[in-house]
């Protein structure tokens, strides 16, 4: 009977020797060129590798976040990000509006569309002190204010905030929007050019027309200038100006350039036109008395300019406004109650001065 061999557990030194032997032993597979590594070393290497991969992924994600944030800031500064603004933050009279009347039927359609579908296109505003000045979207803002009276959903309105200021950019944005959405009447085009020039946004009415209607043809800009002449000369007396056809406006402008301003103003001031047709009849009658222009007179040319003097503030309250044009001066006193006797004394003083 064979003698059994008694097994004993290896001590620490023997275990270390065995570990070193396994590490040095070549791979059984002849195609495996890698050197075997201790198990603990393999675990450490794999952990380090995975940690490195995670760091790369984090850096890529961080770079994407930073890029998105930069693009967001650029879009926001360019006014391409809509913000919800409360209605009382917005000044609708920030700049002079180009449209003179609102179509209530069209407004009713807009109100219904907003109730059902909401606002599809935000309005445009520009920072103005603690609030914002409206550039474009007057009808949409008006509609929101009407709806907000009964529906709190409309207490805020989406708006693009642009750094347009009160200068030319604000007027250009307003005109461009109205030209795209629904064309302005010829008179409204001429009027807004005059108003923008009068506020000092442009040096002259002609310059205002060139910038505000830069996309229009040369012929169309010429017509806008003609209606600007009509507004400058007759705008304070016309009761139905937007009803003027293009042909009628050009006829009036031609007569005004030939010195018919006094006759036309007298005709408008002497009667109350109840409708556009009656008003045009008054003007046509006055035009018949205007002599035909000389055939040798140059055609076209620079439209007549009306020069507005700086307002004078009266010590007791009120202001004096004056306008000077070729062959005429107009004086308007606002904020003071004057009776007939006062007016007679003022005209007598002016008469003595001009004598």
Q: Which pLDDT score, from 0 to 100, does residue 155 have?
A: 92
pLDDT at site 340? 81
Q: Which portions of the chain are predicted below pLDDT 70?
A: 1-16, 18-80, 95-103, 164-183, 199-200, 290-306, 326-327, 355
- Torsions phi, psi of 349, nearest 5? -65, -45
Give the residue among 157, 149, 92 at the shortest CA–CA distance from 121. Answer: 157
Structure tokens at 248: 């009628």
- The pLDDT score that the predictor gives to residue 252 is 92
Q: Which fold has domain 184-291?
A: Arc Repressor Mutant, subunit A (1.10.10)
Same fold, 67-182 and 184-291: no
d(C-alpha 230, C-alpha 312), whole Å: 26
* The pLDDT of residue 47: 65
Euclidean distance between the first and the last CA atom of the chain, given in angstroms as a whole number: 160
Rounded CA separation 260/290 (Å): 6
Q: Could you tell me which residues are beta bridge partners of residue 330? A: 323
**What residue spans define the domains of the chain?**
67-182, 184-291, 312-344
Give the tokens for residue 189: 């085009």
Q: How far apart are CA 344 and CA 354, in angstroms?
A: 15
pLDDT recorded at residue 55? 60
Would you state the structure tokens that stand for residue 216, as one six-digit string?
A: 């229009």
Q: What is the pLDDT of residue 215?
A: 79
Q: Could you please report the per-residue DSSP string of 229-275?
A: HHHHHHTTT-SSGGG--HHHHHHHHHHHHTT-HHHHHHHHHTS---S
- Strand-pair partners of 91: 133
How many Å apart are CA 127 and CA 164, to the nearest integer? 8
Report, in this order, helix, strand and coil percent for the chain, each rounded to 5.
Answer: 55, 10, 35
Is the domain defined by 67-182 classed in CATH 3.10.450.50? no
């Amino acid at each position: 009977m064979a003698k059994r061999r008694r097994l004993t557990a290896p001590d620490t030194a023997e275990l270390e020797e065995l570990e070193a032997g396994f590490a040095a032993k070549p791979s059984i597979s002849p195609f495996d060129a890698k050197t075997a590594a201790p198990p603990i070393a393999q675990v450490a290497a794999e952990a380090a590798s995975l940690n490195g991969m995670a760091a790369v992924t984090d850096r890529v994600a961080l770079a994407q976040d930073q890029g998105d944030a930069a693009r967001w800031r650029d879009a926001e500064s360019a006014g391409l990000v809509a913000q919800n603004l409360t209605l009382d933050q917005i000044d609708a009279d920030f700049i002079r509006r180009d449209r003179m009347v609102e179509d209530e039927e069209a407004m009713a359609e807009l109100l219904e569309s907003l109730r059902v579908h909401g606002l599809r296109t935000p309005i445009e505003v520009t920072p103005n002190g603690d609030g914002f000045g409206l550039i474009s979207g007057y009808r949409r803002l008006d509609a929101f204010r009407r709806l907000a009276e009964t529906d709190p959903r409309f207490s805020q309105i989406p708006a693009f905030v642009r750094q347009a200021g009160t200068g030319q950019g604000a007027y250009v944005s307003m005109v461009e929007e109205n030209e795209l959405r629904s064309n302005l009447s010829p008179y409204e085009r001429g009027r807004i050019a005059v108003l923008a020039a009068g506020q000092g946004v442009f040096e002259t009415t002609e310059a205002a027309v060139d910038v505000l209607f830069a996309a229009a043809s040369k012929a169309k800009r010429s017509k806008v200038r003609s209606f600007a002449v009509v507004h400058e000369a007759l705008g304070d007396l016309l009761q139905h100006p937007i009803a003027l056809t293009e042909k009628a406006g050009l006829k009036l402008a031609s007569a005004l350039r030939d010195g018919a301003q006094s006759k036309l103003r007298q005709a408008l001031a002497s009667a109350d036109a109840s409708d556009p047709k009656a008003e045009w009849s008054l003007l046509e009658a006055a035009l018949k008395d205007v002599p035909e222009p000389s055939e040798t007179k140059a055609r076209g040319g620079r439209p007549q300019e009306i020069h507005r003097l700086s307002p004078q503030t009266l010590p007791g309250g009120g202001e004096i406004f004056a306008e000077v044009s070729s062959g005429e001066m107009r004086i308007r006193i606002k904020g003071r109650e004057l009776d007939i006797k006062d007016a007679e004394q003022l005209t007598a003083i002016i008469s003595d001065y001009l004598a």
